[in-house]
């Protein structure tokens, strides 16, 4: 039976950085070759990064992308890697329009191309806006093995390319993906891949992107399953990884080509069978992380990549002594190292003594840079000059802090982190241009009860490792307060967070309507009050900065031109 | 030949306000009946407002919408209006998913329904995200006249419903629309409607939405053309309007039903032919406005409706004495009346004498409320406490002004207007949390050179009417400056605005690439510099507030849940 060694290169690409991503492909193809692979599979649109959003419809970017693909084929060959077939996702643009495509690079040339057929247009995806669907399938003959390709959503939708490949006859299917992290998503991925392998009648190798890109984070979790549904290998989450897998494959009963269902199937010869060789041991099956660990890693990855991909080297944030800023500081230290994190205590006349001591305890535990900048003088100028009272007086405190952080950002080059959580954001318990200030909001998609769970989990992890728990116990246990007037606590304005979060989860994530929420046992008065707050808060959310999405329905879904990083016109 | 009098109700609906919009339909159906109409056509999705964005996928909202449609049929009949057939756009949700639909209300019931087939998914539209396409056509027999319906994009795309209606045989086509204003769009609309009337072999009555909704503004400009392409009537732009048109129609050679092309055509009997009556004179053909007048009205409409639909009654803005804030103040006075506009001069130690005198001149010319709040004391606290220099010192001035306006907003309930123009926004010549502060940015889609043109146009209009020109001549003629350091002028940092705006127009609106721009005659150094600024400024644009779109490609394309106004769960 013909043998084939494939490599799944679970890498971290950057949107717009064509030359950096091309270098990444060369580097990991070299690793694949050093591992003896004949075929290396990269994630979806690895050459452009994902999601490219409106860059897709800029023809000069599409041209740069397919020129970069041709150049990459040559670079790989020049580097002595032309004998490894590389499946490289890129942005195509033909007479019909832009395509989410893969090219197969071999011997210095692009020997095959295929475009994604099913274009997801829900949740975080807008692919019908950006791409035209493909209707052809290139099946590669590598080492005498017939290898089909399906791109991401083509795997998730019933029917379509997988069925056509099964009908045409393939020995193996490889699938480049950019599948964003959601909580508990790996519970869905493995059964899906198993089902599709059975439909194709062949093993299936699923290679996912890893790393943070704007609001999205990709968790990796690449998989290989046999035609019988057996899990052969699984890559770890949230890190770059090369998985090598050997196949010794029986040939399919027959191989068809031409029009099969909705697809035009083409057979592409790449290479002859190789002499028999000793196969590698089976790859490792990494266990998925626990729920808290997975969320923590997602937040750390999203934060780290946002900071680095946007050219920053350090971050600054307000340390109030409360749980939100403590968790954000701890995430930042894990993501960037303590030396890149600047915490500022900004006490006002309403600040409690513990707000300062807990903030300074946080700094001592983690080693981050700590300073104190009182806001009393700034606030009093505004209050007295404008005669501010009530909400206006509360908000000016939050805003003086926001301005202070931005001034430090301008003076020293740090990115400002906003520390708001999803619960307070959802109900509008947040001051625009105040605590909402920042270029990135690490926990904007984390409900308050989960913020506490994460703090406890992170401290327990530290204890397991014999390290100092980063988050002061007092920040976890004390009642939350905005401290914008004397004796203020969150429970003056909001329901208990455990009830609020349950309701928000049902209303926002679950899209449940009023009647459904009553039927689920929530009190009518509470539902009325919370839904009114959520609907009103929409206005404020418009100005909220990006943050890592850990659920399908974060607040502040914003689909815009991504920062282009490396790529520029010309 | 059978006679039919139709009314096009060019009205201003509000997204989410189902009860308010239903009341609007009753009110204008009454006007139609008073005018003797047998059929009244409302704009696309009049019952929900347009665009509903993510409300479309909230099933509780869809349910509220189709329940409201049923209730509206009954209300109309109860009000004695059941004998007028009303074409009312709404959000349908069937087993396949949400639909952009129209219902025909007659005699207290919904007698026909049809869903939009072509779903636009480009520019400001995301309809493939929100709706499923329809594939049936209901042709109404009213007064013995066979009336087909096509919804908005179904008119713009070649083939599709218009061709099917032509093949089936119709005597008249009516088309509910929500077609946003773009500069010079009416140059496209009339030829399009003429062409489609010829394809259908019947007169075509095109009814468009009017008014501002979030970032969009709809200009009305409803049209009726004969089967021969003759323009029969044209409604004015930017105002609500009822157009009554009488038809005396020859019958089509044959009437088909059943499957015709991609559509299932159904004939729906509504009413018998009426006794002969005296037709009205032909409706007026309003001339489209001049370019500047059209833009001015679009900006006034967008601002007025944003303020009112979001529940504000007054606005506050910084008056620097410069052209941008002068034009925004003048727009606000036209939109809301001088008594609802609060201008604040916020001089710093770098402010010139004319910045104060020009601001106060503006106030005197228009009668808006004017006050002066120096920022020196606030700025000096920040600068001395944090040791700010350079850009950090420049930005803190802009930010102290932003905070000051927000404090006045909180204290007095005004909406803050941001005064930035498209040119400075595009290149990032704007301070986030500073001059970018505000809930609405009226001229964010207006290039600087057009800001000057508009100022001159508005002053000339005032002179024509014998009124005081609102904008001080000095604000128009002096060189623009941010006044954030001594002697600073825009030309220190930016190319001449006439060159910059030409380049931005080609790069942003025209999507022209680097090579194209050089070929168009721009200098390489300039193109390099400007494109770099534009690409970098993306980061800042993320926090920019909404404003009226007057071109297809405004900066800061943001597609989010709209503010729901009237509608709430339950």
Question: Which residues from chain A sit within 8 angstroms of residue B527, using beta carbons?
Answer: 569-570
Q: How far is A396 from chain B (nearest CA, A)?
A: 7
Q: How far is B429 from chain A (nearest CA, A)?
A: 15
List the single residue in A381, A392, A408 with the smallest CB-CB distance to B377: A381
Which H or E element spans position B404? Answer: helix B390-412
Helices B376-386 and A376-386: angle between axes, nearest 10 degrees: 180
Question: Which residues from chain A sit within 8 angstroms of residue B528, using beta carbons?
Answer: 570
> Is B260 part of any known ligand binding site?
no
> Is A459 part of any known ligand binding site?
no
Q: How far is B387 from chain A (nearest CA, A)?
A: 9
Instruction: State yes or no: cis peptide before A51, omega within 30 of 0.
Output: yes
Restricting to A residues 260-299, those with a Cβ less than 8 Å away from any Cβ of B are: none
> Is A324 part of any known ligand binding site?
yes
- Judged by a CB distance cut-off of 8 A, whether residue B406 touches chain A is yes
Can you spell out the DSSP letters for B147-198?
EEE--THHHHSSSTHHHHHHHH--SEEEEEE--B--TTTHHHHHHHHHHHHH
pLDDT at B544: 57
> Is A322 part of any known ligand binding site?
yes
* Angle A483-A484-A487 from CA coordinates, rounded to 5°: 55
Percent of chain A with pLDDT over 90: 73
Q: How far is B557 from chain A (nearest CA, A)?
A: 6
| pLDDT average, residue stretch A463-483 | 94
Domains of chain B: 3-271 (3.60.110.10), 291-489 (3.40.50.620)
**Chain B interface, best mutation among A342, A410, A432, by max B CB count within 10 A:** A410
pTM above 0.95, yes or no: no
Q: By CA distance, what is A531's nearest residue in B?
A: B569
**Contacts of residue A344, Cβ cutoff 8 Å, sequence gap at least 6:** A316, A317, A318, A319, A370, A371, A372, A373, A404, A405, A408
d(CA B225, CA B198): 10
- Judged by a CB distance cut-off of 8 A, whether residue A556 touches chain B is yes
Q: How far is A167 from chain B (nearest CA, A)?
A: 28
Contact (Cβ atoms closer than 8 angstroms) between residue B383 and residue A372 = no
Question: Which residues from chain A sit within 8 angstroms of residue B410, using beta carbons?
Answer: 388, 391-392, 395-396
Which residue out of B92, B132, B146, B152 is catalytically annotated?
Answer: B152
d(CA B310, CA B145): 42
- Judged by a CB distance cut-off of 8 A, whether residue A519 touches chain B is no
Contact (Cβ atoms closer than 8 angstroms) between residue B91 and residue B66 = yes
**Helices marked H in A270-317:** 291-309
**Contacts of residue A510, Cβ cutoff 8 Å, sequence gap at least 6:** none
pLDDT digits (tens, 9 = 90+) for A194-229: 999 999 999 999 999 999 998 889 999 999 999 999
pLDDT digits (tens, 9 = 90+) for A315-367: 999 999 999 999 999 999 999 999 999 999 999 988 888 889 999 999 999 99
> Is B355 part of any known ligand binding site?
no
> Is A432 part of any known ligand binding site?
no
- Judged by a CB distance cut-off of 8 A, whether residue A408 touches chain B is yes
Question: Which residues from chain A sit within 8 angstroms of residue B535, using beta carbons?
Answer: 564, 568-569
Please state whether beta strands B85-93 and B263-269 pair in parallel, antiparallel, or not at all (unpaired).
Answer: unpaired
Question: Which residues from chain A sit within 8 angstroms of residue B538, using beta carbons?
Answer: 560-564
Question: Which residues from chain B sit within 8 angstroms of residue A63, using beta carbons?
Answer: 513
Q: By CA distance, what is A509's nearest residue in B?
A: B58
- Judged by a CB distance cut-off of 8 A, whether residue A373 touches chain B is yes
Q: How far is B427 from chain A (nearest CA, A)?
A: 14
Q: By CA distance, what is A410's nearest residue in B?
A: B392
Q: By CA distance, what is A55's nearest residue in B?
A: B511
Q: By CA distance, what is A570's nearest residue in B?
A: B514
Contact (Cβ atoms closer than 8 angstroms) between residue A157 and residue A147 = no
pLDDT digits (tens, 9 = 90+) for A61-83: 888 899 999 999 999 999 999 99
Q: By CA distance, what is B392's nearest residue in A?
A: A410
d(CA B307, CA B336): 9
pLDDT at A561 over 80: no
Restricting to B residues 36-55, those with a Cβ less than 8 Å away from any Cβ of A are: 54
> Is B323 part of any known ligand binding site?
yes
| C-beta atoms of B558 and A563 within 8 A | no
Q: How far is CA A121 from CA A30, B122, B130, B414, in A?
A: 35, 13, 9, 38
List the single residue in B507, B513, B556 with the smallest CB-CB distance to A59: B513
The residue whose two tokens read 């032309």 is: A82
pLDDT band at A187 (very low <50, low <70, confident <90, very high): confident
> Is B320 part of any known ligand binding site?
yes
| C-beta atoms of B410 and A395 within 8 A | yes
- A44 included as an active-site residue: yes
- A483 included as an active-site residue: no
> Is B434 part of any known ligand binding site?
no
Percent of chain A with pLDDT over 70: 94
Contact (Cβ atoms closer than 8 angstroms) between residue A414 and residue A447 = no
- Judged by a CB distance cut-off of 8 A, whether residue A525 touches chain B is no
Contact (Cβ atoms closer than 8 angstroms) between residue B307 and residue B440 = yes
User: Whats the size of chain A, residue-wise?
Assistant: 570
pLDDT at A329: 98
Does residue A67 sit in helix, strand or coil? helix
d(CA B343, CA B326): 10
The residue whose two tokens read 């833009």 is: B295
List the single residue in B60, B373, B563 with the smallest CB-CB distance to A539: B563
pLDDT digits (tens, 9 = 90+) for A149-176: 999 999 988 888 999 999 999 999 999 9
pLDDT digits (tens, 9 = 90+) for A100-143: 999 999 999 999 999 999 999 888 888 998 999 999 999 999 99
pLDDT at A458: 98
- Judged by a CB distance cut-off of 8 A, whether residue A560 touches chain B is yes
* Average pLDDT of the residues of chain A: 91
Which residue out of A92, A127, A152, A444 is catalytically annotated?
Answer: A152
Contact (Cβ atoms closer than 8 angstroms) between residue B50 and residue B213 = yes
d(CA B112, CA A364): 71
**pLDDT under 50 in chain B at which residues?**
556-570
> Is B185 part of any known ligand binding site?
yes
* Angle B228-B84-B144 from CA coordinates, rounded to 5°: 50
- Judged by a CB distance cut-off of 8 A, whether residue B256 touches chain A is no
d(CA A185, CA A298): 12
Q: Kindly report the three-state secondary structure assignment for every residue of B515-548.
A: HHHHHCCCCHHHHHHHHHHHHHHHHHHCCCCCCC
d(CA A545, CA A550): 15
**Chain B interface, best mutation among A378, A430, A444, A563, by max B CB count within 10 A:** A378
The residue whose two tokens read 């228009």 is: B366
φ and ψ at residue A340, rounded to 5 degrees: -105, 10
Contact (Cβ atoms closer than 8 angstroms) between residue A386 and residue B373 = yes
d(CA A152, CA A551): 19
d(CA A206, CA A203): 10
d(CA A475, CA A359): 9
- B215 included as an active-site residue: no
Other CB atoms within a 10 A radius of the CB of residue A278 amount to: 7
Helices B161-168 and B186-200: angle between axes, nearest 10 degrees: 30
The pair of three-digit structure tokens given for residue B129, joined into one six-digit string: 């995200």
Instruction: State yes or no: cis peptide before B51, omega within 30 of 0.
Output: yes
Which H or E element spans position B78? Answer: helix B59-78
pLDDT digits (tens, 9 = 90+) for A411-465: 999 999 999 999 998 888 889 899 989 988 999 999 999 999 999 999 999 999 9
- Judged by a CB distance cut-off of 8 A, whether residue A382 touches chain B is yes
**Chain A interface, best mutation among B543, B562, B565, by max A CB count within 10 A:** B543
pLDDT at B532: 82
Cα A191 to its chain centre, rounded Å, is 21
Q: How far is A375 from chain B (nearest CA, A)?
A: 9
- Judged by a CB distance cut-off of 8 A, whether residue A188 touches chain B is no
Q: By CA distance, what is A544's nearest residue in B?
A: B543
d(CA A58, CA B419): 29
Give the number of A-B residue pairs with CB atoms closer than 8 Å.
188
The pair of three-digit structure tokens given for residue B554, joined into one six-digit string: 């405004």
The residue whose two tokens read 């007026």 is: B284
Contact (Cβ atoms closer than 8 angstroms) between residue B469 and residue B459 = yes
Q: Which DSSP symbol is given to A507?
A: I
Sign of CA dihedral A531, A536, A541, A542: positive
d(CA B63, CA A498): 30
The pair of three-digit structure tokens given for residue A545, joined into one six-digit string: 């900065």
| C-beta atoms of A128 and B121 within 8 A | yes
Q: By CA distance, what is A310's nearest residue in B?
A: B539
The pair of three-digit structure tokens given for residue B99, joined into one six-digit string: 């639909």
Does residue B25 sit in helix, strand or coil? helix
């Amino acid at each position: 039976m013909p043998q084939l060694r494939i490599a799944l290169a679970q890498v971290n690409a950057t949107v717009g950085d064509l030359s950096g991503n091309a270098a990444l492909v060369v580097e990991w193809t070299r690793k694949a070759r050093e591992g003896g692979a004949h075929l290396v599979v990269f994630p979806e649109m690895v050459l452009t990064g994902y999601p490219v959003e409106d860059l897709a419809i800029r023809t000069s970017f599409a041209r740069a992308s397919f020129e970069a693909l041709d150049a990459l084929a040559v670079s790989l060959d020049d580097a002595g890697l032309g004998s490894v077939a590389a499946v490289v996702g890129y942005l195509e643009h033909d007479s019909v329009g832009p395509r989410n495509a893969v090219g197969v690079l071999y011997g210095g040339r692009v020997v095959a191309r295929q475009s994604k057929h099913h274009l997801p247009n829900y949740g975080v995806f807008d692919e019908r806006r950006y791409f035209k669907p493909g209707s052809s399938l290139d099946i590669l003959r590598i080492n005498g093995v017939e290898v089909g390709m399906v791109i991401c959503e083509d795997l998730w939708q019933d029917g379509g390319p997988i069925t056509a490949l099964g009908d045409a006859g393939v020995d193996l299917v490889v699938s480049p993906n950019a599948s964003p992290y959601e909580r508990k998503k790996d519970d869905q991925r493995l059964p899906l891949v198993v089902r599709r392998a059975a439909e194709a009648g062949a093993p299936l190798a699923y290679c996912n992107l890893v790393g943070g890109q704007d609001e999205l984070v990709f968790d990796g979790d690449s998989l290989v399953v046999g035609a019988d549904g057996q899990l052969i290998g699984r890559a770890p989450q949230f890190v770059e990884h090369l998985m090598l897998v050997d196949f010794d494959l029986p040939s399919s009963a027959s191989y068809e080509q031409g029009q099969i269902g909705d697809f035009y199937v083409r057979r592409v010869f790449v290479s002859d069978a190789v002499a028999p060789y000793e196969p590698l041991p089976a790859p490792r099956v990494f266990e998925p992380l626990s729920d808290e660990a997975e969320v923590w890693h997602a937040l750390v990855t999203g934060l780290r990549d946002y900071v680095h991909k946007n050219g920053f080297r350090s971050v600054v944030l307000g340390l109030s002594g409360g749980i939100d800023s403590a968790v954000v500081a701890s995430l930042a230290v894990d993501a960037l190292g303590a030396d890149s994190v600047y915490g500022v205590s900004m006490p006002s006349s309403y600040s409690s003594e513990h707000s300062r001591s807990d903030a300074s305890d946080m700094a001592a535990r983690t080693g981050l840079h700590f300073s104190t900048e009182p806001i009393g003088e700034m606030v009093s100028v505004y209050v007295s000059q404008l005669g501010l009272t009530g909400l206006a007086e509360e908000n000016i405190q939050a805003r003086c802090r926001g301005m202070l952080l931005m001034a430090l950002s301008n003076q020293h080059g740090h990115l400002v982190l906003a520390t708001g959580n999803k619960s307070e954001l959802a109900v509008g318990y947040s001051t625009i241009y105040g605590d909402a200030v920042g270029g990135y909001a690490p926990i904007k998609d984390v409900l308050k009860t989960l913020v506490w769970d994460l703090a406890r989990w992170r401290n327990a992890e530290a204890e397991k490792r014999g390290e100092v728990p980063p988050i002061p116990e007092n920040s976890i246990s004390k009642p939350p307060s905005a401290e914008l007037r004397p004796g203020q606590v969150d429970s003056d304005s909001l329901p208990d967070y455990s009830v609020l979060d349950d309701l928000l989860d049902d209303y926002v994530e679950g899209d449940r309507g009023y009647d459904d929420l009553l039927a689920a046992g929530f009190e009518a008065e509470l539902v009325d009050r919370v839904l009114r707050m959520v609907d009103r808060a929409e206005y404020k959310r418009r100005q909220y900065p990006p943050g890592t999405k850990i659920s399908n329905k974060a607040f502040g879904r914003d689909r815009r031109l991504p920062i282009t990083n490396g790529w520029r016109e010309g």
